[in-house]
């Protein structure tokens, strides 16, 4: 764990990760298989981070060890989108529950700002820099309410999801390129080292994939041909 980061911030992020996992568990209809996958991911990634796997030789390792956190969930997402069974599963998830998942982006932004104030992520990764993902967290309760009340058009929800995935790609790219690896392009004065340690490794390994999958599932439904 990072000695400069207070325990309260670690616990707050742990709560945020638990909230994201629970909301996604609800999206999947309380699937035991999904719950098992989430618990395994949390346990394995947490143990690797605690053992120093991601922080060891981070400046010289190629490919970056962080790919072991990002790779498996991305492969799982691609398999969902590429297989018939996966596409059927994505189509079965309710749009309102998929929308509610994005409420976790508000506490994530607060965590990132807290990490910035403690010197373990760069300013560019916060809402004071080039990260505008807080817009999604703040707007989610409103969008969710309007969707439940049938006061939100199909086109508006589609635009909101497109904006959300653009903002997500922006912060993920910035975060990855701020880690002090041979690929670093941002944050040289204060690199992104937080996500190399427990519990913040759960951000790229669990929370971001959940948010991304929620967008992918929603966009697949919204872009599907509408039945009369």
- For residue range 48-76, list pLDDT tens digits in order: 999 999 999 888 888 889 999 999 999 98
Average pLDDT of 134-141? 98
**SS3 state at 184:** coil
CA–CA separation, 54 vs 180, rounded Å? Answer: 11
Helices (H) and strands (E) in the chain, counts: 10, 0
Q: Can you give the residue range of the structural domain that contains 199?
A: 7-223
pLDDT tens-digit profile of 169-214? 999 999 999 999 988 999 999 999 999 999 999 999 999 999 999 9
CA–CA separation, 41 vs 134, rounded Å? Answer: 25
Residue 216 forms part of a structural domain: yes
- CA 217, 78, 103, 127 torsion-angle sign: negative
Residue 25 forms part of a structural domain: yes
Q: What is the pTM of this model?
A: 0.96
Closest CA to 35 of 20, 47, 21, 14: 21
The C-alpha angle with vertex 63 and arms to 57 and 65, in degrees rounded to 5, equals: 55
Closest CA to 177 of 164, 192, 196, 194: 192
**SS3 state at 97:** helix
Is the predicted pLDDT of residue 7 greater than 50, yes or no?
Answer: yes
CA–CA separation, 69 vs 79, rounded Å? Answer: 17
Residue 228 forms part of a structural domain: no
Closest CA to 26 of 98, 83, 87: 98
Q: What is the mean pLDDT of the chain?
A: 95
Average pLDDT of 25-40? 96
CA–CA separation, 135 vs 226, rounded Å? Answer: 29
- The pLDDT of residue 192 is 97
CA–CA separation, 173 vs 221, rounded Å? Answer: 26
- The pLDDT of residue 228 is 41
- The pLDDT of residue 60 is 86
Contacts (Cβ under 8 Å, ≥6 apart) of 204: 66, 69, 70, 172, 175, 176, 195
- The pLDDT of residue 112 is 98
- The pLDDT of residue 79 is 87
Residue 1 forms part of a structural domain: no
Residue 91 forms part of a structural domain: yes
Residue 2 forms part of a structural domain: no
Q: Name the band, by pLDDT with cuts 50, 70 and 90, for residue 226.
A: low
Is the predicted pLDDT of residue 30 greater than 90, yes or no?
Answer: yes
Task: Specify the number of domains making up the chain.
Answer: 1
Residue 133 forms part of a structural domain: yes
Residue 111 forms part of a structural domain: yes
The C-alpha angle with vertex 69 and arms to 176 and 173, in degrees rounded to 5, equals: 20
């Amino acid at each position: 764990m990072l000695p400069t980061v207070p325990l309260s911030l670690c616990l707050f992020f742990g709560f945020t990760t638990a909230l994201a996992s629970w909301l996604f568990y609800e999206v999947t209809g309380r699937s035991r298989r999904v719950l098992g996958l989430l618990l395994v991911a949390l346990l394995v990634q947490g143990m690797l981070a605690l053992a120093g796997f991601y922080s060891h030789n981070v400046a010289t390792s190629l490919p970056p060890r962080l790919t072991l956190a990002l790779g498996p969930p991305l492969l799982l997402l691609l398999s969902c989108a590429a297989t018939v069974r996966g596409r059927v599963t994505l189509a079965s998830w309710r749009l309102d529950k998929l929308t509610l998942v994005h409420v976790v982006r508000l506490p994530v932004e607060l965590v990132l700002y807290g990490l910035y104030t403690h010197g373990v992520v760069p300013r560019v990764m916060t809402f004071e820099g080039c990260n505008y993902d807080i817009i999604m967290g703040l707007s989610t309760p409103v969008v969710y309410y309007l969707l439940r009340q049938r006061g939100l058009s199909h086109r508006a929800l589609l635009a909101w999801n497109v904006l959300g995935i653009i903002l997500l790609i922006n912060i993920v790219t910035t975060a990855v390129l701020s880690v002090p690896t041979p690929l670093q392009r941002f944050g040289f004065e204060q690199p992104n080292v937080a996500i190399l340690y427990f519990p913040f490794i759960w951000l790229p390994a669990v929370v971001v994939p959940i948010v991304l999958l929620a967008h992918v599932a929603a966009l697949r439904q919204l872009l599907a041909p509408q039945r009369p």
